[in-house]
Amino acid sequence: MSGPDVFAADRGLLLGYRRGDPKTLELIYRRYSAEVMRALSRGFRVGSGGTVSHAAVGPLDLDAAHQETFLRVFAESARVHYDGLQPFEPYLMTIARRAAVDVLRAQGKLMREAVALDAEPGARQLPDDADSPEQVALRTETAAVVRAFLDTLDGEVATFATARFIDGQSQEAAGAKCGWSRQQARSVEARLKADCLRYLNDRGWLQTAEGGKAVVLAVLGLFLWGWAER
């Protein structure tokens, strides 16, 4: 594993994580984003039908798994289930492998009964895999906000954003759909980040009441934190 636990030096951060404080979540993302990418890119063991195999996470699936990991880590169910007694990174990495398994299942690259076998300390703290009604409602409302923002885009920018946001493709693959170089795709993505923040602010989402905070965090997780430069 990598350096010291994010909560080790400042236990007050744990309260920020549980509350869903945006600055704390951004700190967590920046601290662990690269670690998640590296860990998933190495793959992990999965069990299916009594056999054990190695699950490889390719570049296109890697981006989708990375985004899904932090959406789950920042979800209320994960935040309230983490007790702070065990190191945070094993907890996060267990969520990451589960997210990767779900992404690979959705792509038909793993059997539906496949499960990650690399158990980490802290796995017992994980919330139930079944979505609660609140989680379903959050995903539905987040999807509506994302779709409304995408509907403001035109032409190739809309094609690029859909490939990145909806399809979970890599920056390079999404840019290739528009015939762009990696640098062009990077520049468009940077503008989209600013446009997303402006969109949320203009519609009052950044000043939202407590009830809508989870939606904002989920949208930011997908549009901003999930798009950090690598």
| pLDDT (tens digit per residue) in 117-144 | 755 444 445 555 555 556 666 667 777 7
Cα dihedral across residues 196, 20, 63, 148: positive or negative: negative
Task: With a cut of 50, say whether residue 116 has pLDDT above it.
Answer: yes
Are 199 and 152 within 8 A, CB to CB?
yes
pTM of the model as a whole: 0.57
The pLDDT of residue 122 is 46
Task: With a cut of 60, say whether residue 222 has pLDDT above it.
Answer: yes
| pLDDT (tens digit per residue) in 9-38 | 777 888 889 888 888 888 898 899 999 999
Question: Which phi and psi angles does 94 have, rounded to 5°?
Answer: -65, -45
Q: What is the mean pLDDT of residues 161-178?
A: 81
70 vs 165, higher pLDDT? 70
> Which residues does 122 contact at the CB level (< 8 Å), separation at least 6?
82, 86, 87, 88, 90, 91, 94
Are 223 and 193 within 8 A, CB to CB?
yes
